[in-house]
Structure 1
Amino acid sequence: MTSKSDLWTIRPACERDTDVLADIYLRVRRITFLWVDPREFHNTDFVIHTQGERIFVCEDRNGTIAGFMALWEPDDFIHMLYIEPAFQGLGAGKALLAALPEWPKRRYRLKCLVKNTRAMAFYRTLGFEIVGDGSSPEGDYKDMRLSGE
């Protein structure tokens, strides 16, 4: 699946993207999850944490990678959505989600850390509802599901 708009191109990740995506994953976690010791995050985490997942890349008009999304397809579970800080708030995250099959009709799920209030607000504005909660090494989270239309 490849999706293109005036601002963004969404495409499947390929092997040449791995280093850039690993850097985004590491950098964004370190600057966002301030309540976690940054030494807990490693550049090798990306490959380990996305094993078996379908990864989508968001590029700007110049081909610069703005961010990525990782989807665990068997459960329609959005495992990761990470956007480079310079691109946050410009629509890259929405473009990644909108490129998902049957968006917004399919009831995709995700987990969002409670302390990540900006992400929580983002998902709520897109129609995700809190359906449960849990705890992880990074902190408490809310299970969220797209309400569907």
Structure 2
Amino acid sequence: MNWKIRPNRPEDTIKLAEIYLSVRRQTFTWVDPGKFHREDFAAHTNGEVVSVCEAPDGRIAGFISIWAADDFIHMLYVLPEFQGKGAGAALLQSLPAWPRHTYRLKCLVNNSHAKAFYLAHGFQVTGRGASTEGDYEELSFTPAATE
């Protein structure tokens, strides 16, 4: 598929908030779904760079948000109907200087599908921790890991 990656626009906010809410509720089945709210998207992406992935028909398939100062990928969410079709890879490839730059992220241990995706794209486990949504692993992408 030919994905279009573009900067987030104000008119995307409602759709991105819906994606964030629905994918978290579907994926994080071990967390009370009542803890997730539509307003979380704006709060959780405040100060971040958000890019949108559009399908060839113009529908928004997902998004990525990064805290640029730390090269930290905070979120990468793709609607289920677009998962496994290259949308997530296109979002990663849209990152500045990808794949010649180091990036890191946190992935919940229970989210085995996401972890497999990141490992397949050259990330390696570099740390562990705990959050209110469960234990996580820190994953890092370094250019040397892809050579």
Which residue of 69, 76, 82 maps to 1:81?
76
**Residue matched to 1:12:** 7
Query: 2:27 aligns to what?
Result: 32
Which of these residues, 109, 122, 132, is aligned with residue 127 of structure 1? Answer: 122
CA distance in 2, matches of 1:112, 1:105: 22
State the 1:66 CA deviation. 0.2
Hey, what does 2:48 align to over in structure 1? Answer: 53
Q: Determine the C-alpha separation between the residues in 1 that align with 2:34 and 2:89.
A: 30
Mapped to 1, the partners of 2:129 and 2:99 lie a distance apart of 25
> What TM-score do you get using the length of structure 2 for normalisation?
0.96
Distance 1:141 1:11 in 2: 29
- Work out the CA distance in 2 between the residues paired with 1:129 and 1:68: 22
SS in structure 1 opposite 2:90?
Answer: helix
The CA RMSD measured in Å over matched residues stands at: 0.7
Q: Deviations for 1:89-131, whole angstroms, at most 9, x for unmatched residues?
A: 1000000000111101101010000000000000001110111
Alignment partner for residue 68 of structure 1, among 63, 67, 85? 63
Output the TM-score relative to the length of structure 1. Answer: 0.95
In the aligned structure 2, how far is the partner of 1:33 from the partner of 1:61?
A: 28
* Matched residue, 1:98: 93
The residue that corresponds to 1:3 in the other structure is: none
Distance 1:109 1:49 in 2: 17
| 1:7 positional shift | 1.1
Sequence identity percentage: 56
Runs of 4+ in 1 over 3 A off after TM superposition: none
2:135 and 2:3 map into 1 onto residues whose CA distance is: 32
| Gapped regions of structure 1 (runs ≥ 5) | 1-5
SS class of match (1:132): strand
How many residue pairs get aligned? The number is: 144
**What secondary structure, in the 3-state scheme, does the structure 1 residue paired with 2:52 have?**
strand
